[in-house]
Amino acid sequence: MKSFIKLISLTALIGLSSITQAQQYPTRPITLVVPFAAGGPTDVAARMISIPMGKSLGQTVIVENTVGAGGTVATQRVARANPDGYTIFIHHMGMATAPALYRKLPFDPLKDFEYIGQVIDVPMTMLGRKDFPANNLQEMIAYVKAHKDKISLANAGLGAVSHLCGMLFQSAIGVELNTIPYKGTGPALNDLMGGQVDLLCDQTTQTVPLIKEGRVKIFGVTTMKRLSALPNVPTMDEQGLKGFEVKVWHGIYAPKGTPPAIVEKINAALRSALQDPAVKQRMVDLSVEIPSMDKVSPQGLQTHLEAEIQKWGPVIRKAGIYAD
Ligand code: MLT
């Protein structure tokens, strides 16, 4: 009986201490893990929201880039991190494509995480090096077909969205190119600007300023409508690649077991960051969309992730594409 009472008191104490922990949270800096290299679109998105999130939480949110294997190295790191709210994670739709692309995935997107909320939806741009010998999509396709053994197409690793967009492009034009994987499209874009690679499909979060400065050549945007940030750039669809559409959604996660009260605090900080006028303006400048607030919620992200896993699984399996 005595030991039973001891057990009850111990459980009550543990319960109390986790309530206190959640009430006091955060008492130290929080790490926001980015699964791709610094300077790339996921990194840019993380840095846009980390400062206002830190302001609302009253602690610094430090961005940490953990790179490799199309984002799966970082995802595994976060799945195994302490569920105390001090490690959180931003990832794009790679979270939904990984279960089909990797046969031996060391984490389960539907079991190993708490969901904080969706963040942003980002269009992509099909780019070439500045001196690529073509001035529109049709000329580019003709040149690529004529020189296919010599053309390199960069991406951010197997399973990255730049990889998916590149695959979609190759299948749309019926040509297989020499693909070069990087640890993020940050370094891939540097090599595109340096002329070391020929083509790259990348998100507007990173590419709009470089397109405007003429540091890369733009062949089209991957949305059905033209973008307000690049009104003179035609869509891939209007230039003949009918139905060519890629928009990249993102979410924020925490390790499974992070207390609900802490998840709620991080979610509130995320919502307020996305409503910050400076952040909103930056998103408009980059043609990035902020999802409706019902999607910036744990349930909104979970429902979307489940649907996206259902959507991509059969497509990837049918194509027989594996990243491992
Ligand atoms: C990045 O942040 O480098 C990209 O989001 C990677 C990708 O293309 O998936």
pLDDT tens for 189-234 read 999 999 999 999 999 999 999 999 999 999 999 999 999 999 999 9
**pLDDT tens readout for residues 114-145:** 999 999 999 999 999 999 999 999 999 999 99
Neighbours of 171 (CB within 10 A): 11
Burial 118-134 (b: 16+ CB within 10 A, else e): bbbbbbbbbbbbeebee
Q: Closest ligand 1 atom to the C-alpha of 188?
A: 3
The answer to whether the CB of 175 falls within 8 A of the CB of 221 is: no
Burial 193-209 (b: 16+ CB within 10 A, else e): beeebbbbbbbbbbbbe
Q: Residue 225 corresponds to which tokens in the numbers above?
A: 């409508």
What is the Cα–Cα distance from 266 to 198, expressed in whole angstroms?
A: 41
Q: Of 83, 84, 73, 82, give the one whose Cα is nearest residue 107.
A: 73
**pLDDT tens readout for residues 53-109:** 999 999 999 999 999 888 889 999 999 999 999 999 999 999 999 999 888 899 999
Neighbours of 21 (CB within 10 A): 15
Q: Model-level pTM?
A: 0.89
Give residue for tokens 């594996």: 322
Alpha carbons within 13 A on the beta-carbon side of 302: 12
Distance 94 CA to ligand 1 centre (A): 9
Q: Whose CA is nearest to atom 2 of ligand 1?
A: 42
CB-defined site of ligand 1, < 6 Å:
36-37, 40-43, 92, 94, 156, 160-162, 184-186
Q: Closest ligand 1 atom to the C-alpha of 184?
A: 3
- Give 32's pLDDT tier (boundaries 50, 70, 90): very high
Q: Which residue has the higher pLDDT, 19 or 143?
A: 143
Neighbours of 63 (CB within 10 A): 17
Q: Of 100, 107, 112, give the one whose Cα is nearest residue 159.
A: 100
**pLDDT tens readout for residues 199-211:** 999 999 999 999 9
Distance 155 CA to ligand 1 centre (A): 8
Q: Closest ligand 1 atom to the C-alpha of 182?
A: 3
Ligand 1 pocket mutation pick from 66, 155, 161 by most atoms within 8 angstroms of CB: 161
Three-state DSSP at 168 gives helix
Distance 281 CA to ligand 1 centre (A): 22
Distance 184 CA to ligand 1 centre (A): 5
Neighbours of 165 (CB within 10 A): 24
Q: Closest ligand 1 atom to the C-alpha of 37?
A: 3
Ligand 1 pocket mutation pick from 32, 42, 197, 207 by most atoms within 8 angstroms of CB: 42
The answer to whether the CB of 312 falls within 8 A of the CB of 234 is: no
Distance 17 CA to ligand 1 centre (A): 39
Which pairing describes strands 61-65 and 30-34: parallel, antiparallel, or unpaired? parallel
The answer to whether the CB of 18 falls within 8 A of the CB of 85 is: no
Q: Whose CA is nearest to atom 3 of ligand 1?
A: 184
Q: Of 303, 299, 232, 289, give the one whose Cα is nearest residue 45.
A: 289
User: What's the pLDDT score for residue 9?
Assistant: 58
Ligand 1 pocket mutation pick from 89, 92, 183, 192 by most atoms within 8 angstroms of CB: 92
